[in-house]
Structure 1
Amino acid sequence: MRKFKTQLLVLIPGFVAALCGQVLAETAENISDKKLVIVSSFPEKMTAIYEAAFEEKYPGIDVEVAKKKTTAGLKYLQENNSVDLFWVSAPDAFEVLKKKNMLQKYRPKAKGIPRRISGYPVNDPDGFYSGFAAAGYGIMWNREYLQEHELEPPTEWVDLTRPEYQGHIGLSAPSRSGTTHLTVEAILQLKGWEPGWALVKAIAANAKAITEKSSQVPKGVINGEFGIGIVIDYYGLTAKANGAPVEFAYPSATVFVPSGIAVLKESPQPDLAKKFIEFVLSPEGQQLLLHPDISRLPVWPDAYKSENIPVGYPQPFSAKTLGSHTAFDVQKSRLRYNLVNSLFDVMVTYRLGDLKRAVKSLQQAERKLLTSSNAVPEVAAALVQGRDLINYLPVDELTSYDPKFTGKFRKKRKKISDVIAGEQGEIEKRWDADIQKRYKQSYKIVNASL
């Protein structure tokens, strides 16, 4: 027995060493030679920085990022089950996937991150997606462009409706961009359904173009194609940090929402996906958001204590810095996501020419009322009638929350000539005919009074 124990003691160290070696080898094998596939709407400069940092921290892991617009990304995920993570700015996009049961629950272990920002939950209360950065929406402008055209910088949404900005603004369509969708939805929630749409139409009427991608707006502002653009904050902050002659401002009424990340339910590498989430939420990952090529707002408040933070950098956890901001209702946004996209395309994207002409006549009528030394009641009456025709909405706010109605909208047109079959197509066809008629009537009535 004693001899056996002696032999066992002699064998144990070798056994333990072998066992540890096997475990370490298996662990190394588990985290190396693996591919992590991410679908993201973020700029390649940003994802490349995170990709390099994560691969350096975990050698052997290959991170592959598929760059796609949010709306295209949603469609791609429904057709592919080889994706591990969805990483985009728009929280309502995650709600779409959550509703389709395409996400798996994961609650990050990261500490020190508040539950809410500006009244909005940082993480999904049900645990299906997590916020990693805050995003605000506002106005970006090119200083040199405005100086050349003798224009004052706009800082409020209503400023963009002024006639002097006509033809100087760039914006995208919500059906083409998740961030633009959030901007429009935020205005609708902050201003109210009818006043919000009136404001959106008035701004769009001053647009030089509706771009195919949201990224084309800040690029256009930087290169002088547009003087002004409606953008998500990081476009303005990044451009300014890299020396472009631009400025960015949050309107006094603005919304801050978390950009998110989530593990797909069919993820081939769920453990690696969760490891990546923990990385972006770690102090190291949060500090990366301050990189000049990223310039986003961390959800970890201690990141703002960093010595590397630029002077004047926004502080989303300080109401004094950013003024008033209202909580964004993601449930309302989710319910009418496709409906808002369809309404914008029918009333703005595919009728931009008619809208611009009608609004320009309103602006001329307003100018005549202001400059005329005599009363011109016929112009005043035409102005009221014309504005009512332009601001007409085919859907009231109560209906916009009705799932039976909003559920009819599932597809989008890439161009005005595209035909959508079924009830959605029939509804949009009626809307289009009605809107076109009203814009033309408005122009005719107001123009006749001038």
Structure 2
Amino acid sequence: MTIMNRLYLTAAISALCTSMAFAETELTVYTAVEAEDLARYAETFNQDHPDIKVNWVRDSTGVITAKLLAEKNNPQADMVWGLAATSLLVLKTEGMLEPYAPAGLDKLDPKFRDGDNPPSWVGMDAWVASVCFNTVEGEKLGLTAPTSWMDLTKPEYAGHVVMPNPASSGTGFLDVSSWLQIFGEEKGWEFMDGLHNNIAAYTHSGSKPCKMAASGETVIGVSFAFRGAKSKADGAPIDIIVPSEGIGWDMEASALIAGTANEEAAKTLLDWSITPKAMEMYNVGYAVVAIPGIAKPVEYFPEGITDAMIDNDFEWAANNRSAILEEWTNRYDTKSEPKG
């Protein structure tokens, strides 16, 4: 073998080794995380794990949950990173999640993990319900700001309230399931009957009602508090109201899909998803994160809001999800915005 051939062979072997060292494992990750955050999540993760590529499949909570259930016998996802805990409880009941105790589990607030050992899912952050009220538009129309959920049934608000559809939005589902817990089932549906009379539209996004209130498209948007705080910080003339009866909440959580062919890479991502670095990343979009003491104060986020969070029965909400959504759809879906 000539010296030149040896050099070519050495270079080829070196290139092959480099290629193998940096070969990517691709993960199909289902998520309901806000679309604007996905690139940042993947980029931050890849700072520590450049050898794992995240391929997102993103939609609203209801759509992703339905898609996963439809694929039960032929799973297409390796992992879920950012879906409502109530949805993951449904998947757990169906035997679709792979139990796993990620590194750092002991640092999480106990509320932010499945109770089994090892857990089937772990939490990331929480979002809490609130009402966004446009003070400028309210003054023009002579409307006073509501202070309670029951206030939203007053005739003066007819046509001025927008809220999320619970079949497609995790925020919408936490609203409906929390009202049934706060008021009891019979009075809860009576409340929603009265609320429906005042609804202009049900959206398929949990943040959209507050964005509409912020822009003056509606006066009242039932949404979540962090979205209201961000809109107010951007200059929107809104008040963020915490209704006096208490507020529902849910958490974004993550889990391994049982049967994934990329289990080790998926475990690496799940490990990373509950690190302090990940929590700092979530804090950009959420005021409450799973590791205590990490979240920084968020401008305009209502003070004492955690005290208003109800003792949410996630198991009850998950077990009754289908029945709740069927009843809600039969009663109110005629005012839902078109999908797509």
TM-score tier by shorter-chain length is 0.7 to 0.9
Trace 1:30-429 onto structure 2 (pairs within 5 A): 32-77=23-68, 78-79=70-71, 81-110=75-104, 111-116=106-111, 122-126=112-116, 127-252=119-244, 253-291=246-284, 294-304=285-295, 306=296, 309-311=297-299, 313=301, 320=304, 322-350=306-334
Secondary structure, counterpart of 1:259 in structure 2:
strand
The whole-number CA distance in structure 1 between the counterparts of 2:332 and 2:87 is 22
Q: Which amino acid aligns with 1:263?
A: L
The whole-number CA distance in structure 1 between the counterparts of 2:302 and 2:100 is 29
Cα distance, 1:342 vs structure 2: 1.2
- Higher relative contact order (Cα pairs below 8 Å, separated by 6+ residues): 2
* 8 Å Cα contact 1:217-1:229 kept in structure 2: yes
Question: Over aligned residue pairs, what C-alpha RMSD do you find?
Answer: 2.7
* 8 Å Cα contact 1:89-1:135 kept in structure 2: no
The whole-number CA distance in structure 1 between the counterparts of 2:249 and 2:21 is 38
Deviation digits for residues 52-99 of structure 1, max 9, x if unmatched?
111222223322211112222123223362312223442221122112
Partner of 2:7: none
Q: Which runs of 5+ in 1 are unaligned?
A: 1-24, 117-121, 354-413, 416-450
Q: Which runs of 5+ in 2 are unaligned?
A: 1-16
Secondary structure, counterpart of 1:266 in structure 2:
coil
Q: Which structure has the highest helix share of the two?
A: 1
The whole-number CA distance in structure 1 between the counterparts of 2:62 and 2:53 is 26
Q: Which amino acid aligns with 2:45?
A: F
The TM-score normalised by the length of structure 1 is 0.64
Deviation digits for residues 314-361 of structure 1, max 9, x if unmatched?
57xxxx5543433111222122211111111212223x69xxxxxxxx
The TM-score normalised by the length of structure 2 is 0.83
Change (3 A) 1:99 1:213: same
The whole-number CA distance in structure 1 between the counterparts of 2:313 and 2:33 is 23
The whole-number CA distance in structure 2 between the counterparts of 1:89 and 1:314 is 24
Q: Which structure has the highest strand share of the two?
A: 2
Secondary structure, counterpart of 2:193 in structure 1:
helix
Matched residue pairs, number? 316
Q: Which amino acid aligns with 2:114?
A: D
Q: Which amino acid aligns with 1:86?
A: V
The whole-number CA distance in structure 1 between the counterparts of 2:115 and 2:264 is 21
* 8 Å Cα contact 1:177-1:213 kept in structure 2: yes
Identity %: 24
Deviation digits for residues 210-248 of structure 1, max 9, x if unmatched?
224444323322332211111133332333344433332
The whole-number CA distance in structure 2 between the counterparts of 1:123 and 1:30 is 34
The whole-number CA distance in structure 2 between the counterparts of 1:241 and 1:295 is 14
The whole-number CA distance in structure 1 between the counterparts of 2:207 and 2:58 is 12
The whole-number CA distance in structure 1 between the counterparts of 2:302 and 2:125 is 13
Partner of 1:404: none
Secondary structure, counterpart of 2:294 in structure 1:
helix
Cα distance, 1:263 vs structure 2: 1.0
The whole-number CA distance in structure 2 between the counterparts of 1:166 and 1:146 is 13
